């Protein structure tokens, strides 16, 4: 995939890592850094039945709670993270990013949910940040200098609200991070070819991010919108260096072996989860 309007120094692509009977998608640039662990779950290796087959990590689906709990255990074992350390985003498709600490461990999992938010940051090694996804993109952030991480859930609303840039800003404010030190990767996400929206929405993206390259005209009154490119623009605008940005280009709609897709499965599907933590 070519993005001439973003320059040529951005990293492209993902690695798929098999672990514990399931698999995770990840960014090679983050894998190569010491001190951080991250991944985006796949549907493989869980216990849920169709259409939630099989590693459904969404509590809000009509899938028995004990299945989801068992799936989370499989996810944690495979990712080598402690169940107790997870803090799960309480998403509302907004632009809010919250700082969390060790006192929040378990929130959204086996304790009360956080306030509504779509993104999280922490510098606590005892916390694993978690987001939920079914076509929506993710931002993984890591500052190896100040030792802090961030994670955000980004559907079209969060992307338009620049939630990735807001996570960078909160890391600057809370941890003194310099954007030039922060490594960022997007996660798997519905791609431009598969994401048809109203033309009016595509034009709002073009206005917000300053380029019509974000969409292509489709059927009458419709357009195909590139959320990942909008994600990239906001991260670069926030001061992250292009060579520190990875775009995974893994389409959740197309890669049906690996991913649930809200749009492909017409809403009757499971959820993936992303995680990032210091180590
Ligand atoms: Zn696609």
Query: Tens digit of pLDDT for each residue in 239-271?
Result: 999 999 999 999 999 999 999 999 999 989 999
Residue pLDDT, tens place only, 160-211: 999 999 999 999 999 999 999 999 999 999 999 999 999 999 999 999 999 9
Other CB atoms within 10 Å distance of the CB of residue 12: 12
pTM of the model: 0.97
Place of tokens 């909008």: 230
Q: What is the pLDDT of residue 146?
A: 98
Q: What is the pLDDT of residue 63?
A: 94
| pLDDT band with cut points at 50, 70 and 90 for residue 153 | very high
Q: What is the pLDDT of residue 6?
A: 86
Percent of the chain with pLDDT over 70: 99
In this model, does residue 2 exceed pLDDT 80?
Answer: no
Collapsing DSSP to helix, strand or coil, 241 comes out as: coil
127: left (phi over 0), alpha (psi -120 to 50) or beta: beta
Mean pLDDT, rounded, for 86-112 = 96
Q: What is the pLDDT of residue 193?
A: 95
Tokens read off for 279: 């180590």
The alpha carbon of 189 and the centre of ligand 1 are apart by a number of angstroms equal to 8
Nearest C-alpha neighbor of 165 from the set 228, 239, 100, 89: 239
Q: What is the pLDDT of residue 135?
A: 86
The alpha carbon of 216 and the centre of ligand 1 are apart by a number of angstroms equal to 14
Bridge partner residues of 215 (DSSP): 225
Instruction: Report domain 11-191+226-278's class.
Output: alpha beta
Nearest C-alpha neighbor of 69 from the set 97, 102, 46, 35: 46
Bridge partner residues of 272 (DSSP): 133
The alpha carbon of 253 and the centre of ligand 1 are apart by a number of angstroms equal to 5
The alpha carbon of 18 and the centre of ligand 1 are apart by a number of angstroms equal to 23
Other CB atoms within 10 Å distance of the CB of residue 228: 25
Q: Cα angle at 197 between 191 and 202, to 5 degrees?
A: 90
**Distance from C-alpha of 206 to C-alpha of 248, rounded to nearest angstrom:** 22
Collapsing DSSP to helix, strand or coil, 192 comes out as: coil
In this model, does residue 68 exceed pLDDT 80?
Answer: yes
Q: CB of 58 within 8 A of CB of 134?
A: yes
């Amino acid at each position: 995939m070519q993005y001439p309007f973003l320059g040529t120094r951005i990293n492209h692509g993902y690695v798929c890592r098999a672990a514990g009977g399931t698999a995770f998608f990840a960014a090679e640039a983050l894998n190569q850094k010491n001190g951080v662990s991250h991944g985006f779950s796949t549907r493989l290796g869980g216990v849920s039945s169709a259409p939630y087959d099989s590693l459904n990590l969404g509590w809000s689906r009509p899938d028995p709670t004990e299945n989801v709990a068992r799936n989370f255990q499989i996810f944690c074992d495979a990712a080598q993270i402690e169940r107790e350390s997870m803090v799960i985003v309480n998403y509302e498709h907004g632009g809010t990013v919250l700082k969390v600490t060790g006192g929040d461990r378990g929130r959204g999992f086996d304790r009360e949910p956080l306030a509504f938010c779509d993104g999280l940051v922490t510098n606590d090694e005892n916390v694993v940040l978690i987001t939920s996804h079914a076509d929506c993109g993710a931002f993984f952030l890591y500052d190896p200098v100040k030792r802090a991480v961030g994670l955000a859930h980004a559907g079209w609303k969060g992307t338009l609200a620049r939630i990735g840039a807001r996570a960078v800003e909160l890391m600057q404010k809370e941890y003194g991070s310099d954007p030039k030190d922060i490594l960022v990767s997007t996660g798997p996400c519905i791609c431009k070819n598969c994401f048809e929206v109203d033309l009016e929405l595509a034009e709002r993206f073009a206005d917000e991010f300053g380029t019509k390259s974000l969409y292509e005209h489709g059927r009458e009154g419709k357009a195909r919108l590139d959320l990942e490119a909008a994600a990239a623009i906001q991260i670069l605008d926030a001061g992250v260096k292009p060579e520190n940005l990875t775009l995974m280009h893994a389409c959740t709609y197309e890669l049906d072996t690996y991913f649930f897709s809200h749009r492909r499965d017409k809403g009757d599907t499971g959820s993936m989860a992303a995680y990032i933590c210091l180590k």
